[in-house]
Amino acid sequence: MTKKQIIPILLLLGLLILLGGAYLLYGSLTAEPSPPTITAPTITTPDFAAEDQAGIPVFLSDFLGDRPTVVYFWTSWCTWCTQGMEELESFYQQVGDQFQILAVNLTQLGQRRGELDAARAFMEEDRFTFPSLYDIYGDAQSAYAVRGVPMALFIDSDGALAHSQLGFMTVSQLWEVAQLLS
């Protein structure tokens, strides 16, 4: 092949490549953009150990997995906490087996003397029917960086932290958040 024959062939190939690129570029510019997909990050729930009424160590993970769980951090000296426990009991009576409720007394919060005895007496006296744990060594408080009470965690049935709420919650407020987990 001579030089005169190669030049037109190369020009033709270059033109075809240029037209093909222009076609692809035009197609991508005029196509309908697809909406972005946003996936919320899954926040894994830190596990902790606390003692039950009998003083036996129990893990949060023992309560997770088959249904949504509400973990309620409280102290006996906090008026909003003790009033919130009454609301939590009402909620617990309404939800039946749909939710797991777990109250965790922060015996180390504020380093108050007698908190463990006061909390156990409060639970027995008011006859709450949901499980209560006692964070004697501060594991739960550290795991969730609890700096104020009452504080509620809402954990979905997959064990992911879905919502946290600092402050007193009424039964209707508990239901509002619970609906998001159902």
What is the per-residue pLDDT across 147-169, written as a single tens digit (0 to 9) for each? 899 999 999 999 999 999 999 99
What is the CB-side half-sphere exposure of residue 135 using CA atoms within 13 A?
27
The one-letter code for the residue type at 141 is Q
How do 49-51 and 69-74 pair as beta strands?
A: unpaired
- Using an 8 Å Cβ cutoff, are 72 and 88 in contact? yes
Q: How far apart are CA 89 and CA 72, in angstroms?
A: 11
Instruction: Report how far Cα 71 is from the mean position of its chain's Cα atoms.
Output: 11
Q: Could you read off the pLDDT of 21-80 as tens digits, one per residue?
A: 555 555 544 545 444 444 445 567 899 999 998 999 999 999 998 899 999 999 999 999
Q: Could you read off the pLDDT of 130-143 as tens digits, one per residue?
A: 999 999 999 999 99
Domains of the chain, start order: 49-181 (3.40.30.10)
DSSP reduced 3-state for 147: coil
State the pTM of this model.
Answer: 0.74
Q: What is the per-residue pLDDT for 27?
A: 55
Which ranges in the chain belong to alpha helices (H)? 3-30, 79-95, 115-126, 139-143, 171-181
Report the percent of the chain where pLDDT is more than 70: 74
